[in-house]
């Protein structure tokens, strides 16, 4: 099972140690069409990288920022000295770094995160002045790639502290391991104190639980460890405990018949009712990635061992389940189309009793001969055939997808470029739900009308995930095309949160401007194209030990 371990993070006895030389991302070259992931520079990006944005930034002077005007309310990075903005000829990049630094949030003089958005025009701040765990991930990646790891470490420690809070919604106590969706730093100028308030779902619109937060936390801990070579943070007693608490929440035994994680609606980036309750691919892919990251980071001590064993079992079952039952391509669609129903016993081909009539009309035209994807959800008599970008990219990045499936996901993007990328990368989900279905599924949500927001809206933040997936599968030209599209408008439009319309042509109806993850997502995409080895922070190679468990289920045959 040792093969599962991230080759870049090796265990020595009960200690894990990072060995950047051991992780050879150029191993990806073994793949038939793998990209030339030069450790430092990609071929045709070399000229561009003469103006690399990887320059060393000045450290933030925390004492000065402590002396700045104190006020009650969130203090952003405005008054604090900022690191020097790396020079680049690309005005979009310069603009993005400036905006990213303005979004910094400080706690007792130390940067601990970035706010979700600083929209100067919008009167309604809602909770966009908070540091969201999921939103901070691309910011963190940008800082790590720019050799500024301190803020990431501070963030990991701050959120770890919050995890240990007692969390309640009304009279109900949440699981110990739950991580917050977001937090906010309050500065009291009179008392000269900083305090933190966190939201574990008890304040969130719809009271949704951020199932993804804990997974992002583990994924980020591994990215930090990988990027810095500093294993001491992940090995610390607190971090080990934090990981175990998150894992206890999602590896506990219950009534499940599937290895996938049962979730309520709105538990991820799509944090409103959108019909993704059940076993959403968005969560399953992050769950798998987090399990593999935790496997690499957990110490093999008495407490860690138990979890390592559980992870091994779950990862095998989960990859089999997702690769088999969530996968859809032309052949598989044809097979489902011809399914018999009401099959009893373990010889059933149509295991979930999916009624072929429930296949939506749009899918027959959408499905190309070349390409495939993991569908949104699978549960009894229910297949949600919608495409979800984040989930699919993370199946590729975590190697939950087989190499063939990863290639097919990228093929699909090429084949259905207009639908999935359009004029602004990228659709968070496809297609939009409309009319009566929209009423029933979203509860008449006016923010999620067709082709807007989570319901078929286009989210620039997804660019970094697409780029990482392109690098991993050796298809940098796809990312290049998408980045070019984004560059035509993103900065000019003021870094919107999302775009609306079938082609993503319009700035979203209620989209915030200067949305931090749109800014950071773009930067991370650019940085990875300049130096594809950065993608190693967020990519996991296929574990050979998982292979034997992979057999096609009988439902694969036509």
Q: Closest separation between CB of residue 185 and ligand GLC, Å?
A: 16
Q: How far is the CB of 158 from ligand GLC (least distance, A)?
A: 17
Q: Does residue 530 touch ligand GLC according to CB under 6 A? A: no
Smallest gap, in angstroms, from Cβ of residue 135 to ligand GLC? 5
Q: Exposed, middle or buried by CB within 10 Å (0-12, 13-18, 19+), for 557?
A: exposed
Out of 116, 469, 478, 482, point to the residue binding ligand GLC (CB under 6 A). 116
Strand runs (DSSP E) across 264-351, as ranges? 327-329
Site string for ligand GLC, 211-250 (x = CB under 6 A): ----------------------------------------
x/- track of binding to ligand GLC for residues 34-73 (CB under 6 A) = ----------------------------------------
Question: Residue 132 interacts with ligand GLC (CB under 6 A)?
Answer: yes
Nearest 5°: CA angle at 278, between 246 and 270? 75
Query: Which one, 269 or 483, has the nearer CB to ligand GLC?
Result: 269
Interacting stretch for ligand GLC, rule CB under 6 A, among 6-14, 130-138, 304-312, 414-422? 130-138
Question: Of 128-136, 253-261, 277-285, 478-486, which part binds ligand GLC (CB under 6 A)?
Answer: 128-136
For ligand GLC, the closer of residues 180 and 501 by Cβ is 180
Nearer to ligand GLC, 323 or 512 (CB): 512
Residue nearest to ligand GLC (CB): 116
* Neighbouring C-alpha atoms within 13 Å toward the C-beta of 513: 11
Among residues 100, 243, 245, 269, which is the contact residue for ligand GLC, using CB under 6 A?
Answer: 269
**What H or E segment, with its residue span, contains residue 331?**
helix 330-337
Q: Between residue 149 and residue 178, which ones bind ligand GLC under the rule CB under 6 A?
A: none
CB of 212 to ligand GLC, least distance (A): 9
Query: How many residues belong to the site for ligand GLC (CB under 6 A)?
Result: 6
Q: Quick one: which of 449, 372, 450, 464 has its CA closest to 413?
A: 372
Alpha helices per DSSP H over 54-180: 62-67, 91-102, 133-145, 150-163
Say how far residue 491 (Cα) sits from the centre of its chain. 22
Q: How many residues does the chain have?
A: 558
Burial of 310: CB neighbours in 10 Å, binned 0-12, 13-18, 19+: middle
Tell me whether residue 133 or residue 378 sits nearer to ligand GLC (CB atom).
133
- Residue among 246, 362, 238 at smallest CA distance from 293: 246
| Phi and psi, residue 9, nearest 5° | -125, 100
Kind plus residue range of the DSSP H or E element containing 378: strand 377-379
Q: Least distance in Å: CB of 496 to ligand GLC? A: 12
CA-closest candidate to residue 504, choices 387, 426, 392, 413: 426
Nearer to ligand GLC, 295 or 514 (CB): 514
Choice between 180 and 242, CB closer to ligand GLC: 180
**Closest listed residue to residue 323, CA positions, set 548, 6, 551, 544:** 551
Q: Does 135 bind ligand GLC (CB under 6 A)?
A: yes
CB of 400 to ligand GLC, least distance (A): 21
**Residue 487: Cβ-neighbour burial (10 angstroms; 0-12, 13-18, 19+):** middle
> What is the pattern of x (binds ligand GLC, CB under 6 A) and - over residues 285-324?
----------------------------------------
Given 6, 129, 271, 419, the residue binding ligand GLC (CB under 6 A):
271
The H or E element spanning position 312 is helix 302-321
| Closer to ligand GLC by Cβ: residue 271 or 542 | 271
| CA-based nearest residue to 110, from 174, 48, 172, 196 | 196
Please report how close the Cβ of residue 121 comes to ligand GLC at its closest, in angstroms.
Answer: 16
Using the 8-state DSSP alphabet, how is residue 174 labeled?
P
Which C-beta is closer to ligand GLC: that of 272 or that of 314?
272
Token pair in block for residue 257: 């018949």
Rounded Cα–Cα distance for residues 123 and 404 (Å): 48
User: Which of the ranges 131-139, 373-381, 436-444, 501-509 carries the binding residues for ligand GLC, by CB under 6 A?
Assistant: 131-139
Local structure of residue 515 (DSSP, 8 states):
B
> Do residues 507 and 499 make contact, with C-beta atoms less than 8 angstroms apart?
yes
Q: Among the candidate windows 132-140, 170-178, 318-326, 355-363, which touches ligand GLC by CB under 6 A?
A: 132-140
Closest CB to ligand GLC among 88 and 268? 268
Cβ pair 266, 282 in contact under 8 A:
no
Distances, alpha carbon 32 to alpha carbons 28, 57, 533, in Å = 9, 38, 18
| Region near ligand GLC per CB under 6 A, out of 52-60, 127-135, 168-176, 188-196 | 127-135
CA pair distance 55, 53, nearest whole angstrom: 6
Taking the complex as a whole, the smallest distance from the CB of residue 116 to ligand GLC amounts, in Å, to: 4
Judged by the rule CB under 6 A, the positions of this chain that interact with ligand GLC are 116, 132, 134-135, 269, 271
């Amino acid at each position: 099972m040792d093969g599962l371990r991230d080759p870049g993070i090796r265990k020595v006895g009960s200690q894990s140690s990072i060995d950047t030389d051991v992780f050879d991302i150029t191993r990806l070259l073994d793949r038939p069409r793998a990209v030339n992931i030069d450790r430092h520079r990609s071929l045709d990006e070399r000229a561009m990288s003469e103006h690399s944005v990887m320059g060393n930034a000045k450290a933030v002077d925390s004492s000065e920022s402590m002396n700045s005007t104190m006020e009650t309310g969130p203090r952003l990075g405005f008054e604090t000295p900022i690191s020097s903005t790396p020079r680049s000829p690309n005005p979009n990049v310069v603009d993005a770094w400036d905006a990213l630094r303005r979004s910094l949030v400080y706690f007792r003089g130390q940067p601990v995160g970035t706010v979700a958005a600083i929209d100067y025009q919008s009167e309604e701040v809602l909770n966009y002045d908070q540091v969201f765990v999921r939103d901070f991930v691309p910011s963190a990646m940008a800082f790590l790639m720019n050799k500024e790891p301190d803020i990431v470490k501070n963030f990991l420690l701050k959120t770890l502290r919050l995890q240990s809070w007692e969390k309640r919604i009304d009279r109900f106590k949440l699981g110990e391991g739950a991580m917050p969706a977001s937090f906010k730093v309050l500065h009291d100028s009179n008392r000269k104190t900083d305090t933190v308030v966190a939201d574990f779902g008890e304040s969130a619109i719809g009271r949704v639980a951020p199932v993804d937060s804990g997974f992002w936390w583990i994924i980020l801990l591994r990215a930090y460890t990988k990027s810095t070579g500093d294993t001491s943070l992940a090995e610390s007693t607190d971090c080990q405990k934090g990981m175990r608490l998150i894992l206890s929440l999602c590896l506990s035994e219950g009534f499940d018949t599937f290895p996938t994680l049962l979730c309520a609606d709105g538990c991820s980036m799509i944090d409103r009712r959108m019909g993704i309750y059940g076993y959403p691919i968005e969560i399953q892919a992050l769950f798998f990635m987090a399990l593999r990251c935790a496997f690499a980071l957990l110490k093999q001590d008495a407490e860690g061992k138990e979890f390592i064993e559980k992870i091994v079992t779950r990862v095998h079952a989960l990859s089999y389940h997702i690769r088999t039952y969530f996968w859809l391509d032309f052949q598989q669609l044809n097979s489902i189309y011809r399914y018999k129903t009401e099959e009893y016993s373990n010889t059933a081909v149509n295991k979930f009793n999916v009624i072929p009539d429930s296949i939506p009309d749009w899918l027959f035209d959408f499905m190309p001969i070349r390409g495939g994807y993991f569908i949104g959800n699978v549960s009894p008599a229910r297949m949600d055939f919608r495409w979800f970008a984040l989930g699919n990219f993370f199946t590729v990045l975590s190697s939950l997808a087989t190499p063939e499936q990863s290639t097919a996901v990228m093929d699909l993007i090429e084949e259905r470029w207009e639908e999935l990328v359009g004029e602004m990368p990228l659709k968070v989900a496809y297609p939009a739900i409309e009319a009566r279905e929209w009423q029933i599924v979203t509860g008449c949500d006016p923010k999620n009308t067709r082709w807007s927001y989570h319901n078929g809206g286009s989210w620039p933040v997804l660019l970094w995930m697409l780029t990482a997936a392109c690098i991993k599968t050796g298809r940098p030209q796809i990312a290049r095309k998408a980045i070019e599209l984004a560059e035509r408008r993103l900065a000019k439009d003021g870094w919107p949160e999302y775009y609306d319309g079938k082609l993503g042509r319009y700035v979203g109806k209620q989209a915030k401007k200067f949305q931090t993850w749109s800014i950071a997502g773009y930067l991370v995409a650019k940085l990875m194209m300049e130096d594809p080895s950065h993608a190693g922070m967020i990519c996991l190679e296929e574990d050979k030990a998982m292979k034997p468990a992979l057999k096609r289920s009988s439902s694969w045959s036509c």
